[in-house]
Amino acid sequence: MAWVGYATMAPIDVLAILKYLGPAIPFIFSATDTASGTADLSAAGVAFAVALLGAMVIINAIGVRFLTAINTSLTWFKIAAPVAIAGAIIVTHFDPSNFSSHGFAPQGFDGVMAAVSGGGVVFAFIGFRHVIDLAGEARNPQWTIPIALTGSVVVGTVIYGAMQIAFVGGIPATELSKGWAGLSINHLYGPFAAIAMAIGLPWLMAVIYGSAVISPFSSALVAVGSNARLAMALARSGFFPGFVARLSDRGVPFYGLLVNFAAGAMLVFMLDLPALVALNGAAVVVSFLVGPVALYALRLQIPERPRKMRVPVVRIFSGVCFVLSTYVVYWSGWQTISVLGLTLAAGVVLFLVLRLFGGAEARPALDLSQSYWVAVFLAAMGVISYLGDFGGGTGTIPPGWDLALIAALSCSIFVWAIRSRLSDDRARAKIEEVENAPDAAKD
């Protein structure tokens, strides 16, 4: 699921870039409905998207130092641009009455849940995961990783919060005459560009346009590198062919980059931007569900082993995170969850095929009893989502009861998962396998 979510990341950012480049390079979209940005990519547009993905692969193939140098420069712009946009709108035109003129949360709790899963909130905040993906190449990880993780979330919260405040307060009252549900912004460069023009800030267009192109390019660049390392890990676990785990002379999983490039190119052909965003958020959050379980299980295993980092109140913290992650998956809706189910089924088939017909590296020892909770949990989530009233469900389970069922399910599954963790002896054996492995395998 993590790989599926990551594989959609770069195509999402590339399509976002092309959407903003469309007015300047109209031939990248089909002739119909180009002005709204909802037109399909033309043949030239698909070639342009694939070329962008290829450029990101090349930059990552050069090495992590080169990637870091480029991304650091882009990140400073990514921080400065939204701060400038939000500040300019708030200083120039800010109407506090917009926050209450049509009621607080006019779309109700369902609107909040839809925004969290399919509306891009999860998608906006999950960039912190790249810190974990590239942690193996970090110096002083006991210090740099906690700072990077908390810093990315805090900075993102401040920036995204400021942007939302600027958006709500900056919309002219005349545009809200029909309420938030009737708000229609069809500017070629997006809603903030429309606000900038409406309140007389044409100079801000250059900043908005630059941010709309540079920010997703930077995000996609890091996602391509992160997903290559996931592909390498999957190859070592028997999900992908063994050659995908090989490192280049620069210490980069080059074949993993190529596999992900092929997957990204296919997704550009197959899915549009909203479908990719919904699939990305749900898939990545499903992969997050393992995190709280692993954290608490590792804390309980081999308690005498030295640990450089210790999350406080780990039992409560892990349990709450597991429940909240389950809610986010449910809020993505039955239509998205059903696609995730088909994706998981395809992954199981791929794993079995490689296990039956692959070499010895494709048949690692399986700890099946530790995985039963995953199968039961995902099956139960699928049933509740289908019978629930969110995102295409049948509505058989009344609102409120579905949330209560999910809370009960996630709590019981979490307890089961922790109790079925590997024994201390088995965990020690796993650690020794890594510590005694050749240096190339460790790298």
**29, β-bridge pairs:** 41
The rounded distance, in Å, linking the Cα atoms of 98 and 81 is 24
How far is CA 82 from its chain centroid?
A: 20
| DSSP conformational letter for 393 | -
Query: Is residue 314 within 8 Å of residue 295, measured between CB atoms?
Result: yes
Q: 3-state class of 234 per DSSP?
A: helix
* DSSP run (H or E) holding 78: helix 64-92
The rounded distance, in Å, linking the Cα atoms of 331 and 337 is 9
Sign for the CA dihedral angle at 163, 164, 170, 175 comes to positive
Query: Closest by alpha carbon to 329, among 364, 278, 369, 366?
Result: 278
Question: HSE (CB half, 13 Å, CA atoms) of 291?
Answer: 20
Q: What is the mean pLDDT of each run of 10 residues along the chain (443 residues)?
A: 84 87 79 53 85 89 78 82 89 86 77 72 77 76 86 89 89 78 72 81 82 84 85 82 83 87 86 76 78 90 81 89 88 81 84 77 76 91 89 84 92 94 89 70 45
DSSP string, 319-367: HHHHHHHHHHHHHT-HHHHHHHHHHHHHHHHHHHHHHHHS-GGG-----
Residue 411's pLDDT is 94
* DSSP run (H or E) holding 69: helix 64-92
Residue 261's pLDDT is 92
Residue 188's pLDDT is 66
Q: 3-state class of 272 per DSSP?
A: coil
Residue 187's pLDDT is 66
Quick one: tokens of 251?
């210490």
The rounded distance, in Å, linking the Cα atoms of 105 and 110 is 10
Amino acid at 290: V
Quick one: tokens of 177?
């005459």
User: 168-190 b/e with 16+ CB inside 10 Å = b?
Assistant: ebbbeeeebeeebeeeeeebbbb
**110, β-bridge pairs:** none
The rounded distance, in Å, linking the Cα atoms of 250 and 225 is 13
**41, β-bridge pairs:** 29
